Amino acid sequence: ACVPTSPPAQTSVPSAPKAPAISLIGTQAGQQWNGNGLDLPYCWSPPGTFQMGGLGGGNQVQVTLTRGFWLGKCEVTQGEWRQLMGTTPWVGQESAVDRADHAASYVSWTESSAFCQKLTDQERQAGRLPEDWEFTLPTEAQWEYACRANTNRRSCPSHCRPILGRLGFRQREAV
């Protein structure tokens, strides 16, 4: 997933009026946005403070995210990857399936960053992404903050646990 992030707020006021700015700031946590050429869905994560790191006796640190961000709702699919990048790194790989609706796989961090940069360039050129926003891979703090969804849980809520076994997840397999 890629994350549009905003840089620090500007402190100077422009002397001449500019064209109306595109506002990408969400209004509520979980709000969905897909105003990009690939129609990738993103969910809004507002600014906030949380305890990052292990729970239940593990080392934690307080982290404050001063700006909200959009986090990809789903993995980038092979079809989306192929459409933007024109490559298929999963083809020929062991256990890989080549289907447009499957998650892109066998993609390195460098290749994923290039995907984000190419998407940024495409969206700016099309006028859908303001100059002060960009698509990037999420930081570890952004990822954990969004996954915790304003809770201090390290796992799913108790009402979700009965279905985990049916999904093939076992507690002993958890890291």
> Measured between alpha carbons, how far is 160 from 156 in angstroms, rounded to an integer?
6
Amino acid at 46: P
Tokens at 127, concatenated: 């006028």
What is the pTM (predicted TM-score) of this model?
Answer: 0.76
> Measured between alpha carbons, how far is 23 from 163 in angstroms, rounded to an integer?
39
Confidence category of residue 5, pLDDT binned at 50, 70, 90? low
39-58 pLDDT tens trace:
999 999 999 999 888 766 67
